[in-house]
Amino acid sequence: MPKCVKICLVASAGGHLTQLLRLESGWNGHSTFCVTTSNVVQEKLQKYRKVHVVGECNRQHLLKVLLVSIRCIRIILKERPDVIISTGAAVGCIMCFLGKVTGAKIVWVDSITNVNKLSLSGRLVWHIADLFLSQWQQLAEQYKNIEYAGKII
Amino acid sequence: MIFLTVGTQFPFDRLLKAVDDALAEVSFGEEIFAQTGESSYVPRNFKVTPFIDRGSFDKYISQASSVISHAGMGTIAAVLGYGKPMLVMPRQRKYGEVVNDHQLAIARKLEMSGHILVAYESRDLAGKMNQLKTFIPCERNSQHQAVADRIARFLVEISNKQAAK
C-alpha cells in the first residue's frame, strides 16, 4: 500500500460538488478534508470528517473574493495538504493557487459544462496544474497537458 | 406532479414567469410544484417553496413525472440519475443570469444527444412543455469510474515519490 497523502477536496456548492463526489473512489485510503461554499450542502458531505465552508464568490464581487481568499489562506496554513483536487469554480481556483505556493500537487477536473472552452478558473489553473482533466475530448486536444479520461455525468 | 426547480444559489424569475404564462394558456393536466430559491416572481398558477433539503429534493425528483429546471449540472445529474424526462431553460449571460454561458453550452450538447429538452427563450417554453409529456430520454452511461481511476493512479505516483524522498 502506498503512503497515504493528505488531500484537500474543493468544489463550489451545486454541480461542481456533485461532480467531485462521483470521483470518491479515486482517493480511497487517503486522508481527506473538504472546502466548499455553502452550508446548504453539509448533508452531502456528512461522511467527511472535516468540512470548511468559506462562502460564495465570483469575479463580479472582488471584495468577496478577497474575504474568501483570506479564509482559504488560513485553511491552507492550518491543514497543509499534499494534494488539492478540485472541480471548480472560483474557490477551487483560489485554493489551487494557494496550495501551489505551499508545495501541494494540483489536480483540476474541469466541469462538464465547459464544453467548447475552459472556464476562467480552468484557464488560470491550467498553468499550474499537475494533472488537468477535461470531460470533452475535443477540448482536451486543444491544449498541451490536458487529458480526457471520460465524463463524470 | 411536475417538479420545477431553479437551484439554491440565484433567482430565476424568467423561468418561473414563462411556466406561469404557459399554464395560463394551456392546461397540462398535472400539478406543478416549484422550488424557487432567491426568486422574487410570485406565480399565479402553481405552489412554491423557496428551499427544500437534500432528502426532499431527491424525493420530489423520484416522485415527479417530469422535471423542469435551470441547466444547473447538480440538478441535471440528479434527474438523469432517475431517468426522468427533463426540460431545462439555460441561465444566460445576456440576461445577466450568470457570468458565462456554460449552461447554454451543456444544454445544447445534452439536447443533441437526446438526454433533455431545452427551451432557450420564454416563447419556446409552452411548446417544449407539450413535448415533455411524451419525451423519453436516452439512457446515459457515466464514465466517472474511469476518471476516478485516473486520479487514483496520479495519487499513487505522488505517494511513491514522497516515500522515495
Kindly provide the ipTM of the predicted complex, given to two decimals.
0.96
Residue B50 lies in a domain: yes
Cα distances (Å, whole numbers) of residue A63 to A68, B11, B85, B126? 9, 21, 41, 41
Residue in chain B nearest A114 by alpha carbon = B102
Residue in chain A nearest B162 by alpha carbon = A3
List own/partner pairs for A93-97 with CB under 8 A and 24 or more apart.
Answer: A93/A120, A93/A121, A93/A124, A93/A125, A94/A65, A94/A68, A94/A69, A95/A8, A95/A10, A95/A35, A96/A10, A96/A125, A96/A128, A96/A129, A97/A124, A97/A125, A97/A128
Mean pLDDT over all residues of chain B?
Answer: 94
- A vs B: CB pairs below 8 A: 138
Residue in chain A nearest B7 by alpha carbon = A14
Q: Work out the minimum CA distance from A46 to partner chain B, whole angstroms.
A: 12
Q: Which three cell numbers stand for residue A98?
A: 494557494
Quick one: which of A61, A74, A72, A57 has its CA closest to A13? A57
Beta strands in B2-148 (DSSP E): 2-5, 32-35, 47-49, 66-70, 86-89, 117-118
Q: What is the pLDDT of residues B85-110, one digit of tens each?
A: 999 999 999 999 998 999 999 999 99
CB atoms A44 and B54 under 8 Å: yes
Residue B26 lies in a domain: yes
Q: What is the pLDDT of residue B162?
A: 86
- Say whether residue B118 is in contact with chain A using an 8 A CB cutoff: no
Residue B163 lies in a domain: no
Cβ neighbours of B162 in A, within 8 Å: 3, 5, 82
Q: What is the pLDDT of residues A11-40, one digit of tens each?
A: 999 999 999 999 999 999 999 999 999 998
Q: Which of A26, A40, A120 sits opposite B148 (nearest CB)?
A: A26
- Does residue A1 carry a pLDDT above 70? no
Sheet arrangement for strand B47-49: B47-49, B32-35, B2-5, B66-70, B86-89, B117-118
Burial B65-99 (b: 16+ CB within 10 A, else e): ebbbbbbbbbbbbbbbeeebbbbbbbbbeeeebbe
Residue B147 lies in a domain: no
CB atoms B102 and A111 under 8 Å: yes
Domain harbouring B113, CATH code? 3.40.50.2000
- Does residue B45 carry a pLDDT above 70? yes
Cα distances (Å, whole numbers) of residue B58 to B36, B64, B78, B129? 16, 10, 8, 22
CB atoms A14 and B151 under 8 Å: no
Residue B148 lies in a domain: no
pLDDT band at residue B163 using 50, 70 and 90 as cut-offs: confident
Cβ neighbours of A31 in B, within 8 Å: none
Give residues 62 to 81 of B whose Cβ lies within 8 Å of A: 72-78, 80
Q: How many CB atoms lie within 10 A of CB B127?
A: 13
Dihedral sign (CA B8, A59, A18, B140): positive
Residue B161 lies in a domain: no
- Say whether residue B163 is in contact with chain A using an 8 A CB cutoff: yes
Residue in chain A nearest B153 by alpha carbon = A26
Gap between the Cα atoms of A74 and A51, Å rounded = 14
CB B99 within 8 A of CB B93: yes
Q: Give me the domain span that covers residue B43.
A: 2-139
Number of domains in chain B: 1
CB atoms B73 and A2 under 8 Å: no
Q: Work out the minimum CA distance from B26 to partner chain A, whole angstroms.
A: 32
Cβ neighbours of A116 in B, within 8 Å: 105
Cα distances (Å, whole numbers) of residue A152 to A95, B27, B113, B146? 22, 37, 16, 9
Domains with residue ranges and CATH for chain A: 6-148 (3.40.50.2000)
Cβ neighbours of B152 in A, within 8 Å: 25-28
Residue B146 lies in a domain: no
Which pTM does this prediction carry? 0.93
Residue B153 lies in a domain: no
Q: What is the pLDDT of residue B164?
A: 86
Q: What is the pLDDT of residue B120?
A: 98
Q: What is the pLDDT of residues A93-139, one digit of tens each?
A: 999 999 999 999 999 999 999 999 999 999 999 999 999 999 999 99
Q: Which three cell numbers stand for residue B105?
A: 453550452
Q: Enter the DSSP assignment of A15.
A: H
Burial A6-25 (b: 16+ CB within 10 A, else e): ebbbbbbbbbbbbbbbbbee
